[in-house]
Amino acid sequence: MPGRQLLMTFPVTATSHTLADYRARGGYGTLSKVLATMKPEQVTKEVAASGILGHAARPSPPAASGRSCTSTTVSRTTCAPTPTKASRHLQGPLDPRERPAPPRRVDGDRRLRAAGEECLRLHPRRVRPALPAPRRSDRRGLRRRLLGPSILGTGFALDLVAHRGAGSYVCGEASGLLTSLEGRKGYPRNRPPRLTVRGLYQRPTVVNNVETLSNLAGILSMGAEAFRKIGTAKSPGTQLVSISGHVARPGVYELEFGYPVAKFVYEDCGGVLGGGKLKCIVPGGISTKVLTAAELEPVTYDHASFQKAGSGLGSGGMIVIAEGTCMVRLLQVMLRFYHHESCGQCTPCREGMGWMHQIIDRIVGGDGRPGDIDRLIEISEANDGTTICGMGDAAGYATVGILAKYRDEFEYFVEHKRSRCDGRLEVPVHA
């Protein structure tokens, strides 16, 4: 096992998702304890003391946003934050596109408790067969007084509404998610105002993904001090990592922060499929810069170590790339995706993605020009910091990251009008 585990602590069986099994494992025990014994400020303080960072592509402490959300709303006329007793929303993307949601129920978060209506919204962004199960069981939970106007008879009110999305990548961005939830095109919004001031339906809204929320029950159950002993000083806890690509044992693993990444790839996941050699990994979703096999050796699974190596943890969607894979074709797939998913609001992203896609298609088609590689870098750099959301930047990071390490493959492709690696993305067959 890759370190200690906090979320994947039970065997997955045909009934492990049911409310009965969850309660038999002690589920909602923390909720009862917290509702009976803790004030909202104590909960916020405990979560802050745990040092947990949000398990999203751009991590931030969830307690900080919870605090600002509970205390302010915004004036529609002056945009000034003011104290409020009005309703608040906690928004939890249940289905981050780059990896599956964790096998745990929403439990034990009382940070938003205050006078007024409170609403927890879960937003599964893709329609798929797994989603009806939590929705059915959540309704059962409601009947059993785990949700509603007076949870467990304490007077604490929390509603949970599950929404299905249509599957747009940019709706994984917090403000785009809220806009789509309001029934409009999922366009990300310019900030300020922050979402904790003016979010869903103009109300203060905290957006944390379900993996982050799932950790809160554990923190409140074991206490912040015990939680901080798991992982590293700057990245306490664990993270769910979905590993795919040319790897022998793909799947979702829970990794303790600080765990050696090479050990994880080579030992826990069985190394490269078919006994091949590792070329590189995409560490945390395609927006993170690739790390070569040699660069990976000293890296441990935590934010500081990945930053030191020149990349990031991102969303925990790791892709293993085997030796022999064509990096030109890989970048083509990535840029096609970014172009397709650009919402089109910002000129640098809308036009830049299209331009980059056109250039990479030209190279792969055998019509590459000598200046094409530098042009890809120029467009990437021009996009950096000029767009509403991070997607414009992200495509540039991925492109610059691959070109910095595998430029020779691109030059070969332009010069010889074919791939040095036979243009394959599939894992090569090894004897």
- Interface characters, 174-213, with ligand SF4 (x: CB under 6 A): --------------x-------------------------
For residue 60, the tally of other CB atoms under 10 A from its CB is: 12
| Local structure of 280: helix, strand or coil | strand
| Closer residue to ligand SF4 (CB): 380 or 419 | 380
Minimum Å distance from CB 182 to ligand SF4? 16
Q: How far apart are CA 427 and CA 57, in angstroms?
A: 27
Q: How far apart are CA 384 and CA 397, in angstroms?
A: 9
| Closer residue to ligand SF4 (CB): 199 or 258 | 199
Which of the residues 96 through 115 are near ligand SF4 (CB under 6 A)? none
Q: Does residue 350 belong to the site contacting ligand SF4 (CB under 6 A)?
A: yes
Shortest CA distance to 349 belongs to which of 315, 328, 380?
Answer: 380
Shortest CA distance to 121 belongs to which of 206, 223, 12?
Answer: 206
- Residue in the block written with tokens 């038999």: 24
Q: Does residue 232 belong to the site contacting ligand SF4 (CB under 6 A)?
A: no
| Closer residue to ligand SF4 (CB): 296 or 389 | 389
| Closer residue to ligand SF4 (CB): 35 or 346 | 346
Instruction: Give residue 216's region: left, alpha or beta (phi > 0; psi -120 to 50).
Output: alpha
Our CA angle for 70, 75, 77, nearest 5°, is 165
Query: What per-residue string of b and e applies to 127-140 under the rule 16 or more CB within 10 Å gives b?
Result: eeeebeebeebbee
Q: Does residue 345 belong to the site contacting ligand SF4 (CB under 6 A)?
A: yes
Residue nearest to ligand SF4 (CB): 349
Minimum Å distance from CB 173 to ligand SF4? 7
Shortest CA distance to 234 belongs to which of 209, 255, 262, 258?
Answer: 258
Q: Both tokens of residue 187?
A: 């366009």
Binding ligand SF4 (rule: CB under 6 A), the pick from 101, 261, 349, 421 is: 349
Binding ligand SF4 (rule: CB under 6 A), the pick from 63, 389, 398, 403 is: 389
Minimum Å distance from CB 175 to ligand SF4? 9
Q: Both tokens of residue 367?
A: 């019509």
Minimum Å distance from CB 395 to ligand SF4? 9
Q: Does residue 392 belong to the site contacting ligand SF4 (CB under 6 A)?
A: yes
Q: Does residue 93 belong to the site contacting ligand SF4 (CB under 6 A)?
A: no
Our CA angle for 97, 101, 104, nearest 5°, is 170
In single-letter form, the type of residue at position 325 comes to T
In single-letter form, the type of residue at position 84 comes to T
Q: Does residue 346 belong to the site contacting ligand SF4 (CB under 6 A)?
A: yes
Binding ligand SF4 (rule: CB under 6 A), the pick from 34, 290, 343, 373 is: 343
Q: How far apart are CA 36 and CA 42, in angstroms?
A: 12
Pick the stretch among 2-10, 140-148, 154-162, 386-394 that binds ligand SF4 (CB under 6 A).
386-394
Q: Where are the beta strands (DSSP E) in 109-222?
A: 118-122, 159-162, 205-207
Minimum Å distance from CB 187 to ligand SF4? 6
Q: Both tokens of residue 379?
A: 């467009």
Pick the stretch among 255-263, 281-289, 304-312, 337-345 that binds ligand SF4 (CB under 6 A).
337-345
For residue 82, the tally of other CB atoms under 10 A from its CB is: 11
Binding ligand SF4 (rule: CB under 6 A), the pick from 200, 291, 364, 388 is: 388
The size of the interface with ligand SF4 (CB under 6 A), counted in residues, is 14
Q: Does residue 387 belong to the site contacting ligand SF4 (CB under 6 A)?
A: yes
Binding ligand SF4 (rule: CB under 6 A), the pick from 170, 281, 299, 326 is: 170
Binding positions for ligand SF4, rule: CB under 6 A = 170, 188, 342-346, 349-350, 387-389, 391-392
